[in-house]
Amino acid sequence: MRLVVARCQVDYAGRLTAHLPMATRVLMIKADGSVLVHSDGGSYKPLNWMSPPCTLREGTTEDGVLEWTVTNPKTDDTLRILLAEVISDSSHDLGVDPGLQKDGVEKHLQELLAEHPATLAPGLSLVRREYPTAIGPVDLMCRDAAALAVAVEIKRKATIDAVEQLTRYLELLNRDPLLTPVRGILAAQSIVPQARTLAEDRGIQCCVVDYDLLRGLDDPTHRLF
């Protein structure tokens, strides 16, 4: 990524026209070829930009002013940037981005259900979070009102893969004479119909949980510390 801080004027021509008068701004040139013009306000949204694929050509005007011309080969759109003064110009190799991993909600959901297991079934109590097995940890190991073991698998969105995962846990846990019989609960914010059908066919209970409602139960004003 290349970051340039400069006093610049920006003119966009294409489906519409736009003009940004001379001012100090941040110009961002990404590895995918996109060019974005940012000010010191306006949150995340750029003042103007050119999406990839596009080509950046650097040159100078007849008056010797540095000029960038950004064009899109698929359209007639043009972004023309006049740089009266370059304050900073730096390039950085950010490497390959692994992408956004939205695991915060699922982790918090596990924490909330560990604190309030009875929201899944009356009389359910927690034995342990991340109960270890030879093929990975079960999210929650609980006991029901009859003191029987219950394995709980938690997902944001439960698919057939989640049912298969919980099935493998149950098959392994039921080999333990100290635990058997172990039944399963699949808890998620949403469960696809195919997963629900498969789970119920295997005797696995499905629970759709309300994340916002659970967060309401975890009221920090009710805590001593």
Segment 11-37, tens digit of pLDDT: 999 878 999 999 999 999 998 889 999
Query: Would you state the pLDDT for residue 75?
Result: 84
**Is the pLDDT reported for residue 217 higher than 70?**
no
pLDDT tens track for 117-161: 999 999 999 999 999 998 889 999 999 999 999 999 999 999 999
> Which run of H or of E encompasses 111?
helix 104-115
What does the pLDDT average to over 59-69? 95
Residue given tokens 């994340």 in the structure block? 211
Give dist(CA 166, CA 185) in Å, integer: 8
Rounded Cα–Cα distance for residues 66 and 176 (Å): 74
Is residue 216 predicted with pLDDT exceeding 80?
no
Integer Cα distance of 192 and 212 in angstroms: 20
CA-closest candidate to residue 162, choices 121, 117, 207 = 207
pLDDT at 101 over 70: no
Domains and CATH numbers, the chain: 2-91 (2.70.180.20), 104-220 (3.40.1350.10)
pLDDT tens-digit series, residues 162-213: 999 999 999 999 999 999 999 999 999 999 999 999 999 999 999 999 888 8
82-97 core/surface letters (b: 16 or more CB in 10 A; e: else)? bbeeeeeeeeeeeeee
Q: What is the pLDDT of residue 104?
A: 52
Look at residue 114 and give its three-state secondary structure.
helix
Determine the pLDDT at residue 140. Answer: 96
pLDDT grade, residue 106 (50/70/90)? confident
pTM > 0.75: no
Residue with tokens 């149950």: 170
**What is the predicted pLDDT for the residue at 185?**
97
Q: How far apart are the first and last CA of the chain?
A: 45
